[in-house]
Amino acid sequence: MTLALCAVVGDRALAQSHDMMMHHGVPSRVAVDERVGPYVASVWIERDVGDGAVYVMLDAADGIAFTPPSAVRIALAPTSGRLPEVFHEAHAEPVRAERGGRYMTKVTFDRPERWNLRVIVEGSAGGGQLVSEVESTSNAALGPLGLFLASSPFVLVAFVYWRAWLARRRGMLALNPAPHLTRPQLD
């Protein structure tokens, strides 16, 4: 019974933890405990080029009871002005053992560059906005260094075995030296 329970919990942990494991990267912190109207907000964002999540964590400011906002919106536009500002409606996510609320939406970064980010919170308790900048990054950030890192083990193993082969060969030559030929005396 205990074993079965461990297996279920372990399997659940492995399955659920996969998406946010280091093999996929995690969101970066953009803002921590910043005042937005009657709330304190923290913002985390997946800033790789492509589709990424934006998380807004809200808690009540000044120790008052948390009143869920009626809307949390994310506005995103490149600082270059090449694209108009796009609004994304964030939806509440269920959270365990945490105060306040968590809101999430997906945004798209089409290329690596700096973006203006606005988090707009509206509700019966009041509203406000948080303004920040975020830099989207290329998926292949390591570039040729990634290729070098991935191929280096094979080069290192080849080097070690080449040195061992060389040492073995030198040893064999030392143990079995070639016969020393001398010129015959003619007179």
- Closest approach of other proteins to the CB of residue 185, in Å: 34
Residue among 17 and 185 whose Cβ is closer to other proteins: 17
**Cβ distance 102 to 56 under 8 Å?**
yes
x/- binding map, residues 145-174, to other proteins, per CB under 8 A? -xx-xxxxxx-xx--x--xx-xxxxxxx-x
Q: Say whether residue 9 binds other proteins (CB under 8 A).
A: yes
Provide the token pair at 2: 């205990």
From candidates 3, 5, 15, 186, binder to other proteins by CB under 8 A: 15
User: 107 pairs with which residues across the strands?
Assistant: 52
Question: How far apart are the C-alpha atoms of 70 and 129, rounded to whole Å?
Answer: 14
- The alpha-carbon radius of gyration of the chain (Å, integer) is 30
Where would I find the beta strands (DSSP E) of the chain?
A: 28-36, 39-45, 50-60, 71-78, 86-93, 101-109, 114-122, 128-135
Q: Say whether residue 68 binds other proteins (CB under 8 A).
A: no
Interacting residue ranges for other proteins, rule: CB under 8 A = 9-10, 12-29, 32, 42, 44, 48, 50, 53, 55, 57, 96-98, 102, 104, 137, 139-144, 146-147, 149-154, 156-157, 160, 163-164, 166-172, 174-175
